Amino acid sequence: MRTFRPSTALRSLGLIAILAVAVFPVYWMINTALSADSELFNTGQDLYPHIERVGEIPEFLSGIPIGRWLWNSAVIALGTTVLSLLIAVHAAYALSRYRFFGKGIAGVLLFTTQMMPQALILVPLFALFSTLGLLNNLGGLVLANTAFVMPVGVFILKGAIDGVPFEIEEAARVDGASRFGILSLVVLPLIGPSVAAAAVICFFDGWNEFMFANVFIRDQALWPASIGLSSFIGQFYTPINGVMIAALAFALPAVVFFLLMQRRIVSGLTAGSVKG
């Protein structure tokens, strides 16, 4: 039988308050997307969304190359994710399991990338990319993003690999697995949830990235959605509702990606330790 407890009610109220703060901007984005210019700039926006204007959304989207932008964003985000994880898994395994000269330095250097503002390296990177012909190139953006987000993946995965009992790897060695075999057949399946978590972080870093894309990409056909969105902002006029419609289209694939990954992350968290 459930009994009413004031503390439970208070906690629920608190949670609702926090949730409201978190969700309201999303709601306002939808609301704004469904508002007319006249409301936004004259009478003020209604608190409830004008659902009847949903029909105008496809019309607006057909007027901009949103498909092209999202495709470019996806190439950058997935490229960053794959490349970062590929490097991070091996680096994390080495940092966790091997003793080698310069191990401490390697860890510190990886950490330094996280303390340095990206803007600091913008100009040198521009010069470098210009020399290498990586400007105006989605591959160049993947490289730049990977350099900054891969260390985060390394730290997440190193923590996870540290938690895999050493005896399981020894067992695999005795059973005849090679070093790569141990990593791919035994260690990776056991740290799956952490790989998923790292994948989410890498993906969103690539998907949301604005500054490098803004500086390195000149060709409009190569704009990712983050640049596309900002291009609405004009000197004299910004179609706020249009920006919000595009922003919704920009947010949707990311939400889908997160939901796909979320189940893996949560199942890993509830499954508990790998010791079983």
| Neighbouring C-beta atoms of residue 51, cutoff 10 Å | 9
Q: 122 near 215, Cβ under 8 Å? A: yes
Name residue, tokens 């990319």: 129
Which range of residues in 22-30, 109-117, 178-186, 245-253 is near another protein by CB under 8 A?
178-186
Which range of residues in 126-134, 184-192, 198-206, 227-235 is near another protein by CB under 8 A?
184-192
Does residue 239 touch another protein according to CB under 8 A?
A: no
Residue 108's Cα: distance from chain center in Å?
24
Does residue 185 touch another protein according to CB under 8 A?
A: yes
Q: 252 near 225, Cβ under 8 Å? A: no
- If the CB atoms of residues 220 and 267 are measured against another protein, the closer one turns out to be 267
Question: What is the amino acid identity at position 49?
Answer: P
Does residue 275 touch another protein according to CB under 8 A?
A: yes
Among 174, 235, 259, 270, indicate the residue that binds another protein (CB under 8 A). 174
Provide, rounded to whole angstroms, the least separation between the CB of residue 100 and another protein: 15
Would you call 177 helix, strand, or coil by DSSP? coil
Provide, rounded to whole angstroms, the least separation between the CB of residue 82 and another protein: 11
Does residue 183 touch another protein according to CB under 8 A?
A: yes
- If the CB atoms of residues 44 and 276 are measured against another protein, the closer one turns out to be 276
- If the CB atoms of residues 218 and 275 are measured against another protein, the closer one turns out to be 275
> DSSP for 258-273?
HHHHHHHHHHHHHH--
Cα angle 145-179-146, degrees, rounded to a multiple of 5: 0
- If the CB atoms of residues 195 and 247 are measured against another protein, the closer one turns out to be 195
Q: Measuring CA to CA, which residue among 263, 155, 144 is closest to residue 201? A: 155
Positions that interact with another protein (CB under 8 A): 165, 167-168, 170-178, 180-181, 183-186, 188-190, 274-276
